[in-house]
Structure 1
Amino acid sequence: MRKYSFQFFFNLLLLLWIVSTIAACKSPEKNGLPHIIIETGYGDIEIELYTDKAPLTANAFLRYIDSGYYDQSNFYRVLNMYNQPSNAPKAFLIQGGIWKSNNELAQSLPGIPHESTKQTGILHKEGTISMARNEPGSAGPEFFIMVEEETGFDFGGENMGDGLGFAAFGSVVRGMPIVRKIHNLKEANQYLQPPVYIHTIRRK
């Protein structure tokens, strides 16, 4: 019977540890959920998309990404303490998409069926990403990221007249300082001056 030395077993364990470490580094989506990267001139923002809880919204966003719609797009709008009516419910967010960079495409895309926070359980907390909309089911490629918790954006909240709230579908896992930096940039009547360039949005 062949005998193995202590050094052999030590090397084997070391090899297994290295392999498992490399695998973990290559797989940031430990829970199986997709991650995407928003590449801006101020740095990258990494977001986890909840395709399990909000499949219609999250997968529509992934289709926009895979189609290259967000290449050379921008963050163009911010809501802060000073640029909203004093008698209106307040919100703190940055909004981006292709409304300014490719408005014709933005208007041509079909709306995404509305997935409310009552359905998904994804609340509008700090770092939550959600879809902008007018009527329920009208959301397209325009999205926003919460800078603070906003219960008024959830189902039954006061920030949307119909009480159905907005469709949240993911959360920032890295890059909130970038989000806050963009939120604090110069704006006029809620619109960034100039807009913040998004080189691309891609899957991680």
Structure 2
Amino acid sequence: MKQLIFLFLLISLIACTETINSGNPHVVIETKYGEIELELYADKAPATTAAFLSYVDSGFYENTSFYRVLNVNNQPSNAPKTEILQGGLWRTKNEKARSITGIPHESTGKTGVKHKDGVISVARLAPGTAGSEFFICIDDQPGLDEGGENVEDKLGYAAFGKVIKGMSVVRKIYMQNDRNQYLDPPIAIYNVRRK
């Protein structure tokens, strides 16, 4: 019996230590379908995480939207497929979105954060142009990693966190009606806040 109690205490201590030591910030995306909680990997992708948190802390994401969806039905049949849900300022605060300075590119080769189901990443054109626009992966998307087939320059996108609660909300939004890859209508993001 003493051995079982000792084992239970040891496991509890390890679990508490891991939670305390992670030190990674959490944010919550508030939508009409519910909340999505993310853990951001400040330890692996510090520049991207710091930039995203600066937008959160500045209130940039208040009254914005999830506005774009890529699924197997709305992409050219001869192109590699990607499944993502994209959001940010672009549709609601376009001038603000365009004014944001690009984030130095933190590739998946550098960070080790791959585009797996529920991973959040930043949208970009050329490396170093990512700003306020982000996307969440639906299922694993290796084509978005460094060297992947879905990015012409083969440098991939900068993944920097993961959904830890509310993936059902992400999938519900992802399944809404779209027209030419844009949600119709966009789904409101009431706010993104630190937890």
Q: TM-score, normalised by structure 2?
A: 0.90
The one-letter code matched in structure 2 to 1:137 is G
The answer to whether the aligner puts 1:116 opposite 2:107 as a matched pair is yes
**1:87-140 deviation digits (Å, cap 9, x = unpaired):** 111011100000011000100111000000000000000000000000000000
Specify which of 75, 79, 88 is matched with residue 88 of structure 1.
79
How far 1:30 moved relative to its partner?
5.7
Residue number in structure 1 paired with 2:65: 74
The one-letter code matched in structure 2 to 1:143 is F
Residue number in structure 1 paired with 2:118: 127
Q: How does 1:30-179 map to 2 (within 5 A)?
A: 31-179=22-170
Secondary structure in structure 1 of the residue aligned to 2:162: strand
How far 1:29 moved relative to its partner?
6.3
Q: How does 1:1-16 map to 2 (within 5 A)?
A: none
Mapped partners of 1:148, 1:190: distance in 2: 18
How far 1:145 moved relative to its partner?
0.1
The 3 A distance-change label for structure 1 pair 129 and 183 is same
The 3 A distance-change label for structure 1 pair 187 and 121 is same
Mapped partners of 2:137, 2:120: distance in 1: 7
Query: Percentage identity across aligned positions?
Result: 58
Provide runs of 4+ in structure 1 moved above 2 Å.
Answer: none
Q: CA RMSD in A?
A: 1.6
Check conservation: 1:29, 1:35, Cα contact below 8 A.
Answer: no
Secondary structure in structure 2 of the residue aligned to 1:104: helix
Mapped partners of 1:108, 1:165: distance in 2: 23
Mapped partners of 2:43, 2:119: distance in 1: 15
Mapped partners of 2:65, 2:129: distance in 1: 20
Give 1 or 2 for the bigger CA radius of gyration: 1
Mapped partners of 1:174, 1:148: distance in 2: 15
Q: Where do 5+ consecutive residues of structure 2 fail to align?
A: 1-14
Q: TM-score, normalised by structure 1?
A: 0.86
Q: Where do 5+ consecutive residues of structure 1 fail to align?
A: 1-23
